[in-house]
Amino acid sequence: MRGGQSANINQFQDKYARVYRPVPAETSAKPLQRNLMDVDDALALASLKTTVFSDQVTDNMLAMADGMERQSADSVPGSAPIISAGAQLANLQCQAYLAKMLAAELRLEAAKLAHENTLLKQSAASTRSLQNQMQQVLDDATVEQIVKSSYGLARPLPNAG
């Protein structure tokens, strides 16, 4: 996998699942958590594949540069415009690959933000649920106090005044 030397990039998924384990069963995690784990795994695999692709492109660009250097050393007079055009083409290819890598990085950052936003929403929903439960407990305690006082089970505190 290192240095773009991976023979079969499609083997990553099996190896990744062996190392990081598959998504837990439905009974072991909530659907939202399972979805987040699944998305995170997909993003990690995509990043690994993009890294390997980037390494392969870098190797190809270096090989192309070496070839152009050899070609210019062996060139005949008057072939400079052709060599220059080849260099311009190589430059454009480098810029296109760079744009592709930057786009992949932006997609990964967007996915990270979406993941963090989902966790924030989940936290807000849990907080709201806890507040509702606390309010219910307080409401039940108030009702219990009213019932006890109406049957004379609770004594009012003496007035300190």
The model's pLDDT over 16-66, given as tens digits with 9 standing for 90+, comes to 777 878 888 888 888 888 888 888 888 888 888 888 888 888 888 889 888
Residue 137 placed within a domain:
no
Residue 8 placed within a domain:
yes
Q: Is it the case that residue 158 has pLDDT exceeding 60?
A: no
Whether pTM > 0.85 for this model: the answer is no
Q: How far is CA 137 from CA 48, 131, 133, 143, 155, in A?
A: 50, 10, 6, 10, 22
Kind and range of the H or E run holding 38: helix 31-73
- What pLDDT is attached to residue 143? 74
Residue 38 placed within a domain:
yes
Cβ-contact 1, 48 below 8 angstroms: yes
Q: Give residue 157's pLDDT band: very low, low, confident or very high (50, 70, 90).
A: low
Domain of residue 61: give its range.
2-108
- What pLDDT is attached to residue 5? 57
Residue 155 placed within a domain:
no
Residue 151 placed within a domain:
no
Q: Is 99 exposed, middle or buried (0-12, 13-18, 19+ CB in 10 A)?
A: exposed
